[in-house]
C-alpha cells in the first residue's frame, strides 16, 4: 500500500470537472513532481490532496499509517502574509498546532521540535526577526520549517521557487533534495519541468495527455521530451 493513492479521481469545483480519470500513487521516499501547463488543474489537485476540496469522484486514500491531515504543506505566499507582524518563531511554532487537538497551548516538545526544525533549515539567526522583513528565500525556509513541524513524513510543496532569484532557487532545491535524502516523501507542484526531471524520481504530468510514471519513462515519451524542450527554449527566450 502506498502512502498516497488516487485511483480514477475526478477533481474540480461545483460547476464542473477540471480533471478526470486521474490515477497515481506515492510511495514512502518518493519525490513526485506534478507538472502541467497553467490552468491544467495543478492547484485544484493540490487542494484535493490536502483535503481542502472534496473530489467529485473517487477518493484520495492514505496508507502506510499516514493519516489525513498529516501532510506538511508549503503554500504559495499569500498577500495577507506580506505585511503580517509575526516573528519567525511564532510562524514555525504554529506548525505544531496540527498535533495539539484540545490543549490550547504549546508544550515543551512542540517548542523543541520547532527549534530543531529552525536549526535544520539554517534560520536560527532569524528566530526573533519579523517574518515580513525577510527575503523571499528566507520566508520559504521559515514556511518549510513550519511544514516540518506539522509532519516528518510527507511534504507537499506548491511552486516552492516561484518569485525567487536563480541562486536562491538552486539553494531551495538543494534544501528540498536534502530533506528527501533524509527520508521525507516529497510532492512538488512546479512549472519548472527542468528541475522536476532533475530532482524528482516520478512525474505526474496533468493536462490533455496525462502521464504518470518514472522520470526516465517520462523522458522517453514524446510529450515529455516536447514539454522539456518547450520549457527550455521559453526560458532561454526570457533570458
* Residue 115, CB-side half-sphere exposure with 13 Å CA sphere: 7
186 forms part of the interface with other proteins (CB under 8 A): no
CA distance 130 to 174: 25
Smallest separation, CB 70 to other proteins (Å): 8
How is residue 177 written as a grid cell?
Answer: 533534495
Which of 39, 9, 14 has its CA nearest to residue 24?
9
Candidate list 16, 104, 166, 237; residue touching other proteins; CB under 8 A: 104
Candidate ranges 24-32, 72-80, 185-193, 231-239; the one touching other proteins (CB under 8 A): 72-80
Q: Comparing C-alpha atoms, which of 228, 226, 213 is closest to residue 23?
A: 213
Q: Are 211 and 221 in contact (CB under 8 A)?
A: yes
Smallest gap from residue 206 Cβ to other proteins (A): 20
Which residue lies nearer to other proteins by CB, 106 or 221? Answer: 106
Candidate list 66, 91, 92, 175; residue touching other proteins; CB under 8 A: 91
Contacts with other proteins by CB under 8 A: the residue count is 36
Listed ranges 22-30, 143-151, 175-183, 222-230: which one lies at the site for other proteins (CB under 8 A): 143-151
What is the distance between the alpha carbons of residues 114 and 98, in angstroms, rounded to a whole number?
Answer: 13
Asked if 82 and 132 touch (Cβ cutoff 8 Å), the reply is yes
95 binds other proteins per the rule CB under 8 A: yes
Task: Give the residue, chosen from 32, 45, 71, 184, that forms a contact with other proteins under the rule CB under 8 A.
Answer: 71
Q: What is the dihedral of CA 19, 22, 26, 30, to 10 degrees?
A: -70
**112 is an interface residue for other proteins by CB under 8 A:** no
State the burial class of residue 206 (Cβ atoms within 10 Å of its Cβ: 0-12, 13-18, 19+).
buried
Choose the binding region for other proteins from 15-23, 63-71, 175-183, 186-194 (rule: CB under 8 A). Answer: 63-71
Is residue 65 at the binding interface for other proteins, with CB under 8 A as the rule?
no
3-state secondary structure of 177: helix
* Interface residue with other proteins, options 15, 16, 38, 83 (CB under 8 A): 83
Q: Which residues bind other proteins (CB under 8 A)?
A: 50-52, 68-69, 71-73, 75, 78, 80-81, 83-87, 89-91, 94-95, 97-98, 100, 104-106, 128-130, 133, 146-147, 150-151
Amino acid at each position: 500500500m502506498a502512502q498516497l493513492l488516487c485511483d480514477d479521481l475526478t477533481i474540480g469545483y461545483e460547476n464542473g470537472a477540471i480533471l478526470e480519470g486521474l490515477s497515481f500513487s506515492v510511495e514512502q521516499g518518493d519525490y513526485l513532481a506534478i507538472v502541467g501547463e497553467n490552468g491544467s488543474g495543478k492547484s485544484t489537485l493540490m487542494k484535493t490532496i490536502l483535503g481542502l476540496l472534496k473530489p467529485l469522484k473517487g477518493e484520495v486514500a492514505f496508507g502506510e499509517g499516514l493519516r489525513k491531515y498529516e501532510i506538511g504543506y508549503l503554500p504559495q505566499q499569500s498577500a495577507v502574509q506580506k505585511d503580517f507582524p509575526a516573528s519567525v518563531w511564532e510562524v514555525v511554532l504554529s506548525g505544531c498546532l496540527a498535533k495539539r487537538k484540545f490543549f490550547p497551548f504549546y508544550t515543551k516538545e512542540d517548542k523543541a521540535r520547532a527549534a530543531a526544525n529552525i536549526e535544520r533549515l539554517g534560520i536560527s539567526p532569524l528566530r526573533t526577526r519579523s517574518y515580513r522583513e525577510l527575503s523571499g528565500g528566507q520566508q520559504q525556509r521559515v514556511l518549510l520549517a513550519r511544514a516540518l513541524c506539522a509532519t516528518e513524513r510527507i511534504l507537499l510543496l506548491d511552486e516552492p521557487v516561484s518569485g525567487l532569484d536563480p541562486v536562491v532557487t538552486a539553494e531551495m532545491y538543494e534544501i528540498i533534495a536534502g530533506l528527501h535524502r533524509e527520508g521525507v516523501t516529497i510532492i512538488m507542484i512546479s512549472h519548472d519541468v527542468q528541475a522536476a526531471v532533475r530532482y524528482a524520481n516520478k512525474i505526474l504530468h496533468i493536462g490533455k495527455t496525462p502521464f504518470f510514471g518514472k522520470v526516465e519513462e517520462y523522458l522517453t515519451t514524446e510529450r515529455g521530451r516536447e514539454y522539456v524542450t518547450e520549457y527550455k527554449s521559453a526560458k532561454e527566450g526570457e533570458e
